[in-house]
């Protein structure tokens, strides 16, 4: 019914989570009427082609190494393992953590069929030389807990301290949605893995 290029735009928008046909059409019409915004969006979309994963930690980056891995002021004896880019930025936002990160890009899941080889784990094991502490900072959901237990089991083979965030969060809560104070407290009161 609509011109092909318009239908293509609607189709692309519909692929986004939570966007149905009606919403996609509304977005498409908005973009048509706001050409300046549409141009901005087009440029932003073109630029994401340059984004890649940091070779060391797996965080989003425009270069081989991300800004955090490249920062000489970070404590290089501590790695915090997080499930996603959003979780990393949630912790970083608090300004309370100065070590390095490792982004798994997911959690293990028996229901979704996500196994250790699907996560960014191999590069983590390659980084453990000289590391004194690994902080497991994975949201305490069912899949998150399974991932944390798996990591604890594997990391025990290395001579380092394994801690995890002391959640003031209820089970099932998402780290990404926690406020800064909750994350800060959880970081300060992190515990040895075995104690929980
Ligand atoms: Zn990095």
Query: How many other CB atoms are found less than 10 A from the CB of residue 120?
Result: 17
Average confidence (pLDDT) over 152-166: 92
Distance 2 CA to ligand 1 centre (A): 45
Tokens found for residue 117: 């080889």
Q: What is the pTM of this model?
A: 0.79
Band the pLDDT of 195: cuts 50, 70, 90. Answer: low
pLDDT of residue 154: 96
Q: What CATH number does domain 52-195 carry, 3.10.20.740, 3.30.70.1400, 3.40.1360.10, 3.30.70.20?
A: 3.40.1360.10
| Dist CA 139 CA 178 (whole Å) | 10
How many angstroms is it from 68 CA to the middle of ligand 1? 6
Would residue 146 be called left, alpha or beta, if left means φ above 0 and alpha means ψ between -120 and 50 degrees?
A: alpha
* d(CA 100, ligand 1 centre) in Å: 8
Tokens of 23: 């919403």
Q: How far is the CA of 91 from the centre of ligand 1 (A)?
A: 15
- pLDDT given at position 62: 93
Q: Which of 75, 56, 77 is nearest to 66 (CA)?
A: 56
Residue linked to tokens 């901005």:
40
Å from CA of 61 to ligand 1 middle: 8
* DSSP SS3 for 144: helix
Which tokens belong to 148? 């944390």
Q: In terms of pLDDT, which residue wins out, 142 or 148? A: 148
Tell me: the pLDDT tens digits for 18-76? 999 999 999 999 999 999 999 999 999 998 988 999 999 999 999 999 999 999 999 99
Cα of 65 from ligand 1 centre, angstroms: 5
Tokens 């002391």 correspond to 166
Q: Provide the pLDDT for residue 138.
A: 92
Q: Which CATH superfamily, name and number, covers 4-50?
A: RecR Domain 1 (1.10.8.420)
> What is the 31 CA–ligand 1 centroid distance (Å)?
35
Span 91-104, average pLDDT:
95
Instruction: State in Å: Cα 46 to ligand 1 middle.
Output: 23
Show the CA angle centred on residue 86, arms to residues 83 and 89, nearest 5°.
110
Residue 57 Cα to ligand 1 midpoint, Å, equals: 4
Distance 103 CA to ligand 1 centre (A): 9
User: Which structure tokens are listed for 119?
Assistant: 């996560």
Q: Report domain extents, the chain.
A: 4-50, 52-195
């Amino acid at each position: 019914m609509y011109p092909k290029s318009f239908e293509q735009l609607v189709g692309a928008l519909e692929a986004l989570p939570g966007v149905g046909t009606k919403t996609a059409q509304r977005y498409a019409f908005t973009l048509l009427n706001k050409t300046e915004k549409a141009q901005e969006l087009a440029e932003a979309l073109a630029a994401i082609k340059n984004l890649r994963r940091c070779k060391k930690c797996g965080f989003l980056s425009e270069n081989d190494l991300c800004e955090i891995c490249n920062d000489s002021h970070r404590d290089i004896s501590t790695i915090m393992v997080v499930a996603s880019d959003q979780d990393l930025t949630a912790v970083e936002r608090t300004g309370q953590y100065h070590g390095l990160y490792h982004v798994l890009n997911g959690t293990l899941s028996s229901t979704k069929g996500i196994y250790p080889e699907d996560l960014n784990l191999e590069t983590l094991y390659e980084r453990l030389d000289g590391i004194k502490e690994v902080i497991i900072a994975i949201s305490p959901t069912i899949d998150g807990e399974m991932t944390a237990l798996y990591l604890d089991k594997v990391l025990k083979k290395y001579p380092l301290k394994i801690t995890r965030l002391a959640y003031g969060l209820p089970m099932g809560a998402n780290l990404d949605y926690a406020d800064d104070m909750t994350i800060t407290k959880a970081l300060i009161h992190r515990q040895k893995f075995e104690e929980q």
